[in-house]
Chains A and B, each alone.
Chain A
């Protein structure tokens, strides 16, 4: 069955540290890839998405993600985190040409001021 894995469940960083959150999926076909962010007490918001083309995708608030097809990965990065980046981050995969949309279990990021 298709699945999305986020291996880091909790991450704690100091402000200005660099961030990389892992996301791997299991599906052999074409996929569309997404990262969402959920700030404390709020709903999920779309951070960035990849459909095709340049595998390095830039999103809002300085986040970027790189699609590595050979590794089935779509890792989220930010060069320098801020206290306001404290949130839960969800990776999601849409199987291209289908309605199927699979979320990972999320990574809680805490940034220490």
Chain B
């Protein structure tokens, strides 16, 4: 049981480049979310999904796109990388029965540097 798998673990991009951060979970969780973690700012929600085909914006969605074609996968796309997107990105999933979020399982993170 792998849990939540994120790739790559490290990435360096040049300003203006695009890329996709991959996230996959094998726990059949309904909820999946992308967070970025920056020093002193905790975790900020970028985008989230409550099921296949359903996505919505979090508090810092600008510059990012997501899609959820299957329950398992929730990729995050950086459209045109900027230095302000240098951060550690975490994907998380949770079981969401009866309208509750039962607590997230996090991936191991992607450390992204934009130069």
Contact = CB atoms under 8 A, between A and B. Distances in A.
Interface of A: 9, 32, 34, 36, 42-46, 49, 51, 90, 94, 96-99, 101, 103-106
Question: Which one of B43, B96, B106 has the highest number of Cβ atoms from chain A below 10 Å of its Cβ?
Answer: B43
B52 interface: no
Contacts of A101: 33, 45, 101, 104
A46 B48 contact: no
* A contact patch SS: loop
Given A49-B103, A101-B104, 13 more contacts: A34-B103, A43-B109, A44-B90, A44-B92, A45-B106, A46-B104, A51-B100, A96-B99, A97-B100, A98-B99, A99-B31, A103-B43, A105-B42
Contact of A43 (B31, B40, B106): B106
B95 to A, nearest CB: 12
Nearest to A48: B103
Interface string B102-114: 1111111100000
B27 interface: no
Interface string B32-49: 010100001111010010
Question: Which one of B33, B50, B104, B108 has the highest number of Cβ atoms from chain A below 10 Å of its Cβ?
Answer: B104
B42 A103 contact: yes
B41 A99 contact: no
A2 to B, nearest CB: 11
Contacts of B102: 49
Interface in B21-67: 31, 33, 35, 40-43, 45, 48, 50
